[in-house]
Amino acid sequence: ADVSLKVSSGEICSVIGPNGAGKTTLFNMISGVLRPSGGRISFDGIDLATISPWKFAAVGIGRTFQNLALFKHGTVVENILTGRHTHLRSTVLDAVVFFGRTRKEEIAARQRVEHIIEFLEIEHIRDAVVGTLSYGQQKRVELA
């Protein structure tokens, strides 16, 4: 009740508290699973109550859970590229032909993945099969 939280760009913040304190409810509201009964939640100047929950990834909001959601037989790069698909605009037909916009989007996505890998300092595992990694390394991949 009466939560007030501000996280600045580039800042890392954690929410801690005992069972029943409302941490999950807070994250459910931030990620669009629940609507707040009062007040407002905004991200990067956008009032989150005005967008559909399935569009949250497009504005830059993602969420991880304790259980991993990765493609265990894919590489680190392949898993991160999968997460970039929400940013692609090419159609299935464009992908079959693979030129023009599709090719440019693929190149840009791969460049972004390399930046993410560098930021998370996981260069040494970039080509590893995710299922062979430790839980901590898999969490980094999922975060990516």
Global confidence as pTM:
0.61
Return the pLDDT at 93: 60
Whether 80 is covered by a domain: the verdict is yes
Expressed as residue numbers, the domain containing 19 is 1-63
Whether 71 is covered by a domain: the verdict is no
**Co-location of 46 and 81 in the same domain:** no
Last residue of a domain, one of 14, 41, 63: 63
Each residue's pLDDT tens digit, 12-31: 888 999 999 999 999 888 88
CB 133 within 8 A of CB 120: no
Each residue's pLDDT tens digit, 39-80: 888 888 888 888 887 788 888 887 777 778 899 999 999 999
Return the pLDDT at 90: 67
Tokens encoding 105: 């989007």
Mean pLDDT of the chain: 86
Last residue of a domain, one of 16, 36, 63: 63
